[in-house]
Structure 1
Amino acid sequence: MMEKTKFGIYIPRDLLVKLDECMRSLNINNRSKIVQEALQLFLLEHGWKTDHKVKGIIGVVYRHGKCDIVLTEIQHEYLEIIISTIHIHLDRERCMLAIIVDGDGDRIRNLISEIMNIKGVKIVRPLILSLATNNTFYKNFIEEKSK
């Protein structure tokens, strides 16, 4: 078991109220556990940005139309890291795209940046994990979750 350290945080009152409501609805009664999970997820979501070999999914929600063409053109510029894509029609005006990626972290960061700058793209949500052999945090996180 890892050594634990106690520390305090300040958050806006309305955020605390929302947190407590969410915890009640999920029948969770341990704020420390929630904060630990949030911090672990934050580190998982952002820790890959310094690693070279990564895999993941980039979720994109956008307005149907001109975005389709621009998104396709950009994807063709990144064929070496894009494994596959899944296109979903949310409604008549909006689409969702899941882009599965595997490769160099810098290239994936560039792809995400280009997608974010497309007019009509509403949401870009990457879920990227590091595959670096020296990334012990990811390995420890997965091992902790499986216990």
Structure 2
Amino acid sequence: MRFSIAMPEDLLRAFDAQISRRSDTANRSEAIRDLIRSSLVRDELRTPEAQVIGSLTMIYDHHTGDLTRKLDEVQHDYTHEIVSTMHVHLDHSNCLEILALRGQGSRVYELADKLLGLRGVKHGELTCAATDTSLEL
């Protein structure tokens, strides 16, 4: 099935450069398929019942609407899961925020989904470990 997407030209150029560094046989379609597969596998590995530890990294433009208020509002609903936060001003518009997280997988993933889904969050990634001894580290 074919579909089209719109993106800024500089983002597409950077993506094409990444594709060309990875392989001389790779193409844009295969790279997008790989990204989609990776996202689906990562989502499938979620462990809703397990206790997890992890970190959520976000880069966002704090000038976007009332994003700062929304970020705070969501985080206040998950104070039990948020162990610590670090906030770094990258430049006049962009901020880096890192959250150390601990708790039931379903709550941690729910928090990450809510934050990363906010308009103005440019990039974000949740990295988790779920083991029987995760909370004993």
Provide the TM-score with structure 2 as the length reference.
0.62
Q: What residue in structure 2 maps to residue 120 of structure 1?
A: 120
Aligned residues: 98
What SS is found at the alignment partner of 2:46? helix
Aligned-CA RMSD value: 2.6
Compared with structure 1, are the counterparts of its residues 54 and 48 closer, same or farther at alpha carbon in structure 2 (3 Å cutoff)? farther
- CA 1:75/1:111 → structure 2, altered by over 3 Å: closer, same or farther? same
Q: Which amino acid aligns with 1:18?
A: R
Aligned-pair distance for 1:47?
7.5
> Greater helix share, 1 or 2?
1
The alignment status of 1:57 with 2:55, answered yes or no, reads yes
How far 1:19 sits from its partner (Å)? 3.0
Deviations 1:17-59 (A, max 9, x none): 52369xxxxxxxxxxxxxxxxxxxx9xx667612511001100
CA distance in 2, matches of 1:85, 1:106: 20
Equivalent runs, 1:89-128 vs 2, <5 Å? 89-128=89-128
Letter in 1 for 2:51: K
Q: For 2:132 and 2:122, how far apart are their aligned partners in 1?
A: 31
Q: Which residue number corresponds to residue 21 of structure 2?
A: 18
What is the SS of the residue equivalent to 1:123? strand
Identity %: 27
Cα distance in 1 for partners of 2:61, 2:72 equals: 14
> What secondary structure sits across from 1:50 in the alignment?
coil
**Distance in 2, Cα, partners of 1:103 & 1:48:** 16
Structure whose CA Rg is larger? 1
Structure 2 CA distance, aligned partners of 1:96 and 1:117? 16
- What's the CA shift string for 1:93-122, capped at 9, x where partnerless? 000100110001000111011112211111
Q: 4+ runs of 1 displaced by more than 4 Å?
A: 45-48
CA distance in structure 2 between the partners assigned to 1:110 and 1:58 by the alignment: 12
Q: Deviations over 1:49-87 (max 9, x none)?
A: 125110011001111132211111100000110001000
